[in-house]
Structure 1
Amino acid sequence: MKNRHGGDDGSPFSYPVKVGHISANPVTVHLEADARELEDLANIWQVLEVRSLKADLQIARWKKDGVRLKGRVEANIVQSCVVTLEPVESRIDEDFEQIFVPEGSKLARIVTNDAAEMVLDPEGPDLPEPFSGDTIDAGAAVTEFAALAIDPYPRKPGVEFADHLEGDADGKSARPNPFAALKDWKKD
């Protein structure tokens, strides 16, 4: 299924879902970015190229008025190697789950203890994402999870940073010390 280009939030990969049309039985949806969306994603993600982005989702009602997106996102991207600046191909293949609740919902409240401190479990589920209106953007959620999986320091296989030494083996630097002129200054 192809999607419309551009969403209400400016996301280049958009798939709006009307919350009122979602049932308790999960609906399976296949999303795939077209050439224009891939180009826009490459600009946003600051990579050389996004060759493909697709996702298989299950969209279902969560509790009374929430929505659960659960699925898998796959992408092929080309980035610059942080050592050689040569192109490096990367593959993203991630499972994800996101829950959306209406703004002001009791389900979106952050749990606090007796001292009014937030209680967050780093291994626990993410907090529900609030939405306003009657529509959520499943495409923007897919884009976000794919972006989180991008390697921030891609390297070509076998390439390492060379050791860098400030000075030679004698301990004398070839560069002049910028503070050398200050050594003769003394306070009277």
Structure 2
Amino acid sequence: MTDEPQNHTFRVATLPARKPQRFRLTPSAKDRATLAKDLDITAIAALTFEGEIRAEGREDYRLDGRLKGTVEQPCVVTLAPVVTKIDAPVRRRYLASYVAPTGEEAEMPEDDTLEPIPEVIDLRDIAAEELALALPDWPRAPGAELGEAVFAAPDAAPLRDADLRPFAGLQALKDKLEKDG
């Protein structure tokens, strides 16, 4: 994810067993632009992923890190640029004994950080996945409001939002009765 000489992949077989393997990934402007395009967002102004990978027991590993950055997305209402700061913890636990759930109605484990141990841990892939999860689903510019859409067939009275709330009238009647005593 960068033109700088950074190590972004770690072969699990060569990770130290007694001390943590620290890492820091800072993608280049070109790599951030490519990732922004892949995520269908306007831009990634800054991105840093840092942390450590450490052995957990004899065969398992744990990655703990932090993803920080600044992204720009279009507002879902006005398409104006919306800048969002990202600051997300990242945790992955790689288990030698991990067995993926199978079957049509398999229950997913409660701990969503568990994964089977890969041959190679790729920090670029983890950063991209975590950034995708951290992005706001519906970014809104300050003050952007959805207006009321009103549609109707010719020569018909349009339905408004208030018309689609059948209990609003009952609530108003209840409030009036309580007020009048």
TM-score w.r.t. length of structure 2: 0.72
Corresponding residue for 2:116? 130
- Which residue, out of 135, 146, 149, partners 2:131? 146
Residue 52 of structure 1 aligns to a residue whose secondary structure is strand
The Cα of 1:56 is off from its aligned counterpart by 1.5
Give the AA of the match of 2:92.
Answer: Q
Residue 20 of structure 1 aligns to a residue whose secondary structure is helix
Q: 2-side partners of 1:162 and 1:69: how far apart? A: 45
The Cα of 1:127 is off from its aligned counterpart by 5.1
1:109 matched to 2:99? The reply is yes
TM-score w.r.t. length of structure 1: 0.70
Q: 2-side partners of 1:127 and 1:56: how far apart? A: 17
Contact 1:26–1:59 (CA<8 Å) still a contact in 2?
A: yes
Percentage of matched positions with identical amino acids: 25
Give the RMSD, CA atoms, in angstroms. 2.9
> Which has the higher mean CA deviation after the structures are superposed, 156-165 or 18-27?
18-27
Q: 1-side partners of 2:114 and 2:2: how far apart? A: 25
Gaps of 5+ in 2: 159-181
The Cα of 1:128 is off from its aligned counterpart by 2.5
Corresponding residue for 1:179? none
Superposed counterparts of 1:78-97, under 5 Å: 78-97=72-91
Gaps of 5+ in 1: 6-12, 174-188
Corresponding residue for 1:32? 26
The Cα of 1:92 is off from its aligned counterpart by 0.9
Corresponding residue for 2:10? 17
| Shift in CA distance, 37/14, structure 1 to aligned 2, threshold 3 Å | farther
Per residue, is there more helix in 1 or in 2?
2
Contact 2:99–2:116 (CA<8 Å) still a contact in 1?
A: no
